[in-house]
Amino acid sequence: MPLIQIAGSERFAYQPKSAEQTRKLASGARLHTVDDGDIDVLDPLTYEVIRHRLAAIAGEMGDGLKRMSGSVVVTDCNDFGATILDECGDSVVVGLYNTQLAASVDMAVKWTLENRSRQAGFHAGDMFLCNDPWVGGGLHQNDVTVFAPLIHDGEVFAWTAVVCHQVDLGGVSPGSWSVEGRDVFWESTPIPPVKIVEAGNIRSDIEDMYLRRSRVPRLIALDLRAKIGANNIAQERLTALIAKYGARTVKAVMKRMMNDAEARLRAKLQSLPDGAWSGVAHQDSFRHSDRNVYKILLTMTKRGDSLKFDFTGTDKETEGFANCTFAGLRGGIMPIVLTMLCGDIPWSPGGLYRCLDIVSEPGTINNCNFPAGIGKASVASAWATQNVVSECVAGMLDVHPDHRKSLMCVCCGTWDLAVLAGLDQRGNPFVTMICDSMAGGLGARVDQDGVDTGGLNCIPMGRVADVEINEFSFPMLYLWRREETDSGGPGRFRGGMGGSSCFIPHDSPIGGVHLVVSATGKALPQATGVSGGYPAGTQYDVLKRNARVAELFGAGRIPSTLEEIGGAADILEAHLETELGEQDVYYTHWQGGGGYGDPLLRDPVLVARDVGARKVSPSAANDVYGVLLNSDGSADETATRRRRTQIRCERVGEPVPNQAAE
Amino acid sequence: MKINDNLRLLSGGNVVCNHCDHQLGTSVGNPLAYAIRRERPSQDAGPGVRAPASHFTDRPIGLRQVFCPGCYVLLATEIAPTDEPSYRHWELRSQAEA
Amino acid sequence: MTYAIGVDTGGTFTDGFLASTDGMLVSAKAHSTPPDFSRGFINVLGELASAIGSSVEELLSKTEYIVHGTTSTLNAVITGEVARVGFLTTRGHGDSIRIMNLEGRYAGLDPSAVQNISRTNKPAPLVPYRDVIEIDERIDHKGAVIVPLDEQGVRAAVRKLYDDGVRAIAVSLLWAFRNPVHERRIREIVQEEAAELYVALSHETSPRIREYTRSATTIINTQIGPVLKGYLAPLEEELRAKKFDGSLLIMQGSGGCVQAADASKYAVGTLGSVLTGGIVGCLRLAERLGHRNIISTDMGGTTFLAGLVRDGKPSTTTTTVLHQHQINTAMVDVRTIGAGGGAIAWIDGGGNLRVGPRSAGARPGPVCYGEGGHEPTVTDADLVLGIINGDNFLGGRKKLSKELAAEAIRTRISEPLGLTMEQGAAAIYAIQNAQTADLVRSVVVNGGHDPRDFVLYSFGGAGPVHAVSYSADLGVSEVVVPLGSTAAVFSAYGLASSDIVLTAEMSDPSNFPVDPVTLNGNFEKLEAELAERLIQQKLRLANVVFEREAELRYTMQMAEVTTPVPGGMLGEAEIAGIGASFEQLYERIYGKGAGFSDAGLQIITYRVRAVGILPIRPDLAAHERAITDPVPSSIRKVFLDTRKGWQDTAIYDYRALGSGSKLSGPAVIEAPTTTVALPEGFAGVVDTYGNLIIRVANSG
């Protein structure tokens, strides 16, 4: 049925409020606060000491979560967030992990303050759980956040929060990636904030309600304890900090950290020229068998010391599972603000958000209403939002002689999802998301190439699991994992290369595995270039049915190409749920980063080096870079000069001059 | 003022090519008004564009590029549905302080 | 009568320490002599010999063993002067060392650098593309051979690398630690093709799951193995020529030493060599003073190092990061957690005062050195606050300019913040102390411990200036500043009093409880291997001890907790006890309720350490007793505590203090190697070995 907004869902469609408004709406709770006078009297010494300690605590929360969790996504791929927020839910400090996730936690805390202050109330030892992306705290239902009020002298002093991706919380398809879904009812039902821990004890009734929906409840239970443990660490450390310096002083530092971040971002914006930058981000397909292309439009206006993000003109919300809520839209903005504008500014989003205005029409693909499908929001419309924000911010920074060094062209256009499910080699049911595409290519910079398989810009400390960890944990065997030639966007500075993995089911008692594939960027690349630079290559996933791997293994050979593998090639559409049979091979190739500048201006020596290291093919060197090589692999200067003249003329349809006379 | 690798803004508001000084437009309005625009199949962007777009979508997808009429340097590149306009623009309203 | 000698080669000085079976102790210093560090080694032996009135030959002929802490391998990695290596790996996985799990882009970087993501880069791959060759072969997670080894391919690869000039080969195949048959066959083929090639196999160098780190470890081992051999072989030859008939032992990062020949085979083990002597010295001192739990801190001009001793054992780590590469090697867990006295104070874009992590380094150093530094450092603040004495710094070896320091602090810190010059300096001092407390606390707490159960030992020229202040913040019970006759060569003393330590481990992941046959078999195999290696050390040992441990985790987890395992044949009850120990450790680290027994347990890695106790154990020299109460050499105004401000402070010359001397704060003690700041509210006493022991006043 068409998407018709559900009556009664409005209450959950949260728009973040200012601290003053939240304070007023949270009238059932006593909130600790300080005034400007308390902030003014802070001496530089105390400020720095406490600031340092707060950052250390956020780091410890992340470390703790990583060591306690059972999800490869968390332990080996660092896809999680840790945040400390003030009493009104403004983020004071976020850890260096998934900044998309951390960017939306404030909404969940503010919603909770406004809706739970009387009932269920806030008491020492309480923690809340939420995975409702309309409320906030995550971008899709797999992002489950656990957050806790820090109670001091009967008042809510602050909040601590951790969030990470949970591999399965139900819905039609394994991994909760319902590729055939048309609205949210095909997916995991969102849970608005509920009190999961009361006075230090897990509420088993709430826990059961939460776990019952999952295909892997024990793993989800282990991770729930990891999140509680990480909050415990932060609560203990913050309590000690208050005992030592006093609540007033610690709070004044928290407020000043946000003020400081705001002031520094404003100063940086002030130093840039006023202007407007418009861009677009495309996504091909919103669900299985959908062949349309969708757009998110952005006009970013910089005036004085503030930035306005206006998404007017973005496509209407669409049947499928690739829309995102307002939390997703903000989760698309903040990672770029943090990594490209605030590389040298403390990460206190509560202050940074004050410099930003957002204009967006509800009911569009990156600000959808309930019940639009959002199962893959984080890597669909939220990610596409991030791409267009990245493009516009890069254009703005490029104008400044110093700040331009902070820009990256768009990094890895989106996530290349592969969910595997079935029986593992020990006979236990499993579901997992293969996170190899975490090793995306980073965008090129104004003075150097993008980092090859360098990661994603929304997760500064992303990571991929070793092949052996995946093979140990899941019934699979890799034929290869490698960097892919020509996947980086060509340019004067080349975008970082993406990579590919190719694997077969291995050692499952039932032979094959169930496979869910979800990845756009196949009809057109999503990691765009800057200043004439080319986009990175497209995403490319191929399933080979009835391949001859067993035969090759028997002959003592490991295939290195899709051709060698044999069998029937199925170039997979964006969204598909299927079986990977015992004789089948899956090849998944994710995107690189966009290029910077005209590739004909690239130093031929660098092109020759790239060909030598298999980063660029000889044909791309010739066709795109106009570089020809000598037999020893070095650049042929004369031939290159001629070839480049020829390409320039062909670009505009001019006749090629006779160069033989040179 | 340098705007990016290829463009410079002159004090009068004219945008010129950084490599050959050819005038391309004005900072307010259309900075690339006089540039040459060309459209080609998306796979002409090189071997990085793996499978043809028609395998995945019914929309027309193409490679659009903008060149300096003076020296033919590449000023902008996008791969986009060609049944919609190019949405990538910019305008500068004031000089930077720095 | 025979001798044991310790020789510690640092960047600047080579320290020597000699102990005899009849209790004689001698120390000496010589300049280090890069790039050929062996000159400094021989020179310091000359100094020791002349101190006991003999020739080097006579000294060496009576020396039973020399324990050497070397910087040669670490230096080679840092300068990049390593052997060219060919890398053979499983087909399809040659890019693993370029992908680096992508974490190579940020591993080991300071958080402020990680945050600035667009300026981060991966290091150059450990082996360039042309020297990486993929081999057809495959073993799966169970150790089953899925594709047999392509021997022809190996031969062709070896020949190609050899013809290109490669003389060292690293081999790391998927799952080789589970089934080493292909790696072993590759070594045979390499030796058939070219016997002189240096070969390292991943299942021997680092038999642990996670191929990227295993490969990186194997490659670095192969790069530095020939370097270490090239350093040690001629050195040993020269010692033999000088009548040395004993054992040349090389300190490992793991806290014990091995024969020189063994050290070259496992060269990554020596990357932490120079860090270890100090920790062993610490252990020996702690045995004397009766301390079981110690935080060892060493704050020099450019770095701040911290390590832990718990229950009389140094805390160790199994991985380390070097140049953004992840390496598996057992090391005493000594962490660089700060920038030392050279940490630069600066005002950030928001107008906030920051200290570090950038350091002025050895050149130009702090502003007060007058060697061209303009940015104020912690040492500059210490100087203008009167804590250190510009005329008597490090025993008067370096003159410091208070004027330059004050000017830099005034213009760059105090004025922008609207403070007086002194207030700016005081803020730098206090911030440095508070940050140090944060960093030291995180080392202690992340190890699952409470700082209040520890004594803090403070080494290094800049350490005792700050130690008492930050220790108060940490809540440790006592601060010890080692100042006796061995203080100047403390690491060399540690080397001379160390043990032989060999480690063997294997990865054999399975569910827990594991059956007794498997567990006992694994440990027996490791112990038999170690017993054989101990015999090869050809040393007279006072005693041998085996220590077992295992890495366990809850099923589905990916990180393990190292858990002690009792010795001997274990039955089901004892094995269940290992699980219980794991759960107790887990709760201690992560808090009550964090464990999840319902998930079940897994055992991943088995490890055994063999400790061979060497026969000579030097004692510490006694310090002369005080005959009178201590008399200050002067009184000056010093700023030690922001709450007290400037105070008239007694200054003592350490050399005039006998054992039993009692001091109370505010006071400053100037020793030849360092300066000790004793703020008001603390009391110090010189112990029988000449160390300064500091506690909160009147706390008993």
pLDDT in tens, A234-283: 999 899 899 989 999 999 999 999 999 999 999 999 999 999 999 999 99
Cα–Cα distance, A607 to A611 (Å, whole number): 6
- Residue A570: name the closest of A524, A514, A517, A527 by CA: A517
CB-based contacts of C431, cutoff 8 Å, min separation 6: A45, A48, A49, C345, C353, C354, C355
Task: Supply the pLDDT for residue C447.
Answer: 67
The tens digit of pLDDT for each residue in C596-631 reads 777 789 998 999 999 999 888 888 888 888 888 899
Examine the pLDDT at C58 and tell me if it is beyond 70. Answer: yes
Chain B adjacent subunits, 3+ CB pairs under 8 A: A
SS3 assignment, position C302:
coil
- Nearest CB among A275, A284, A532 relative to B6 is that of A532
Please list every residue in chain B whose beta carbon sits closer than 8 Å to the beta carbon of residue A588. Answer: none
CB-based contacts of C191, cutoff 8 Å, min separation 6: C197, C199
Cα–Cα distance, C617 to A209 (Å, whole number): 64
- Residue A161: name the closest of A235, A222, A214 by CA: A235
Mark whether C504 and C591 lie in a shared domain: yes
Task: Supply the pLDDT for residue B96.
Answer: 42
Q: Scanning the structure block, which residue is given the tokens 């062209």?
A: A409
The reply to whether residue A280 touches residue B91, judged by beta carbons under 8 angstroms, is no
Q: List the 42-61 stretch of C: residues with Cβ below 8 A of A.
A: none
SS3 assignment, position A608:
helix
| A257–C contact, CB cutoff 8 A | no
Average pLDDT over residues A159-185: 95
Examine the pLDDT at C67 and tell me if it is beyond 80. Answer: yes
Long-range contacts of C158-163 (CB under 8 A, 24+ apart): C158/C86, C158/C189, C158/C190, C158/C193, C158/C194, C158/C197, C159/C193, C160/C133, C161/C86, C161/C131, C161/C133, C162/C193, C162/C194, C162/C197
Which of C580, C613, C646 is the C-terminal boundary of a domain?
C613
Cα–Cα distance, A387 to A412 (Å, whole number): 9
Task: Supply the pLDDT for residue A405.
Answer: 96
DSSP secondary structure code for residue A439 in this structure? S
Examine the pLDDT at A662 and tell me if it is beyond 60. Answer: no
User: What does the mean pLDDT of chain A come to?
Assistant: 95
- Work out the percent of chain C whose per-residue pLDDT is above 70: 97
Task: Supply the pLDDT for residue A633.
Answer: 96
Give the DSSP H/E element, type plus range, for residue A231.
helix A217-245
Q: Which domain holds residue C526?
A: 500-613
Chains A and B touch (3+ CB pairs under 8 A): yes
Q: List the 105-124 stretch of A: residues with Cβ below 8 A of C.
A: none
Q: For an interface test with A, give the residue of C88, C100, C105 to mutate (most A CBs within 10 A).
A: C105
Report yes or no on A177 lying in a domain. Answer: no
Examine the pLDDT at C311 and tell me if it is beyond 90. Answer: no
Cα–Cα distance, C523 to A255 (Å, whole number): 56
Mark whether A516 and A556 lie in a shared domain: yes
Which of C213, C228, C243 is the C-terminal boundary of a domain?
C228
Q: Which domain holds residue A521?
A: 408-597
Average pLDDT over residues C384-408: 88
Mark whether A584 and A643 lie in a shared domain: no
The reply to whether residue A291 touches residue B58, judged by beta carbons under 8 angstroms, is yes
Mark whether C574 and C648 lie in a shared domain: no
Cα–Cα distance, C56 to C47 (Å, whole number): 9
Exposure string of A270-298, with b = 16+ CB inside 10 Å and e = fewer, is eebbbbbbbbbbbbbbbbbebebbbbbbb
Average pLDDT over residues C479-486: 87
Distance from CA of A591 to the nearest CA of B (A): 9
One-letter identity of residue A362: P
| B48–A contact, CB cutoff 8 A | yes
Mark whether A505 and A626 lie in a shared domain: no
Average pLDDT over residues A623-650: 97
CATH number at residue C163: 3.40.50
Task: Supply the pLDDT for residue B97.
Answer: 38
Give the DSSP H/E element, type plus range, for residue C39.
helix C38-51
The tens digit of pLDDT for each residue in C451-460 reads 888 999 998 8
The tens digit of pLDDT for each residue in A554-579 reads 999 999 999 999 999 999 999 999 99
The tens digit of pLDDT for each residue in B31-60 reads 999 999 999 999 999 999 999 999 999 999
Q: Scanning the structure block, which residue is given the tokens 């094959």?
A: A512
Mark whether A521 and A577 lie in a shared domain: yes
Mark whether A490 and A636 lie in a shared domain: no
Count the neighbouring beta carbons within 10 Å of the beta carbon of residue A316.
Answer: 13
Mark whether C83 and C216 lie in a shared domain: yes
Task: Supply the pLDDT for residue C700.
Answer: 39
Please list every residue in chain C whose beta carbon sits closer than 8 Å to the beta carbon of residue A553. Answer: 138, 146-147
Phi (first) and psi of residue C438, to 5 degrees: -60, -50
Count the neighbouring beta carbons within 10 Å of the beta carbon of residue C538.
Answer: 8
Mark whether A622 and A518 lie in a shared domain: no
Task: Supply the pLDDT for residue C448.
Answer: 64
Task: Supply the pLDDT for residue C455.
Answer: 95
| A9–C contact, CB cutoff 8 A | no
CB-based contacts of C54, cutoff 8 Å, min separation 6: none
Please list every residue in chain A whose beta carbon sits closer than 8 Å to the beta carbon of residue C100. Answer: 453
Are C290 and C300 a contacting pair, CB within 8 Å?
no
Scanning every residue of chain B, which has its alpha carbon at the shortest distance from the alpha carbon of A648?
A: B72
Report yes or no on A343 lying in a domain. Answer: no
- Nearest CB among A56, A69, A461 relative to C442 is that of A56
- Residue C611: name the closest of C522, C537, C520, C518 by CA: C537
Report yes or no on A617 lying in a domain. Answer: yes
Number of independent structural domains in chain A: 3
Beta-bridge mates of residue A515: A420, A578
ipTM tops the 0.90 cut? yes
Mark whether A623 and A578 lie in a shared domain: no
Which of A241, A264, A287 is the C-terminal boundary of a domain?
A264
Query: Taking the CA atoms of chain A, what radius of gyration do you get in angstroms?
Result: 25
Chains C and B touch (3+ CB pairs under 8 A): no
Report yes or no on C44 lying in a domain. Answer: no
Task: Supply the pLDDT for residue A661.
Answer: 55
| A376–C contact, CB cutoff 8 A | no
Which of C193, C228, C263 is the C-terminal boundary of a domain?
C228
According to the 3-state scheme, what is the secondary structure of C47-102?
Answer: HHHHHCCCCHHHHHHCEEEEEEECCHHHHHHHHCCCCCEEEEEECCCCCHHHHHHH
- Domain positions in chain B are 7-81
The reply to whether residue C438 touches residue A76, judged by beta carbons under 8 angstroms, is no
Mark whether C578 and C642 lie in a shared domain: no
Distance from CA of A425 to the nearest CA of C (A): 10
Mark whether C686 and C585 lie in a shared domain: no
Which of A248, A264, A280 is the C-terminal boundary of a domain?
A264
Task: Supply the pLDDT for residue C627.
Answer: 86
Mark whether C608 and C672 lie in a shared domain: no
Examine the pLDDT at A220 and tell me if it is beyond 50. Answer: yes
Q: Work out the pLDDT band at C340, boundaries 50, 70, 90.
A: confident
Report yes or no on A336 lying in a domain. Answer: no
Task: Supply the pLDDT for residue B98.
Answer: 36
Q: List the 41-80 stretch of A: residues with Cβ below 8 A of C.
A: 43-45, 47-49, 51-53, 55-56, 59-60, 63-64, 66-72, 75-76
Task: Supply the pLDDT for residue B55.
Answer: 97
Phi (first) and psi of residue C148, to 5 degrees: -65, 160
Q: E-strand spans in C470-524?
A: 478-481, 500-512
Examine the pLDDT at C443 and tell me if it is beyond 50. Answer: yes
User: Residues C654, C658, C660, C666: what is their CA dihedral angle, to the nearest 10 degrees?
Assistant: -20
- Work out the percent of chain C whose per-residue pLDDT is above 90: 57
Mark whether A619 and A482 lie in a shared domain: no
Are B77 and B64 a contacting pair, CB within 8 Å?
yes
Query: Taking the CA atoms of chain C, what radius of gyration do you get in angstroms?
Result: 27
Examine the pLDDT at A433 and tell me if it is beyond 70. Answer: yes
CATH number at residue C568: 3.30.1490
Cα–Cα distance, A618 to C426 (Å, whole number): 62
The tens digit of pLDDT for each residue in C167-176 reads 999 999 999 9
Examine the pLDDT at C442 and tell me if it is beyond 90. Answer: no
Report yes or no on A78 lying in a domain. Answer: yes
Report yes or no on C112 lying in a domain. Answer: yes
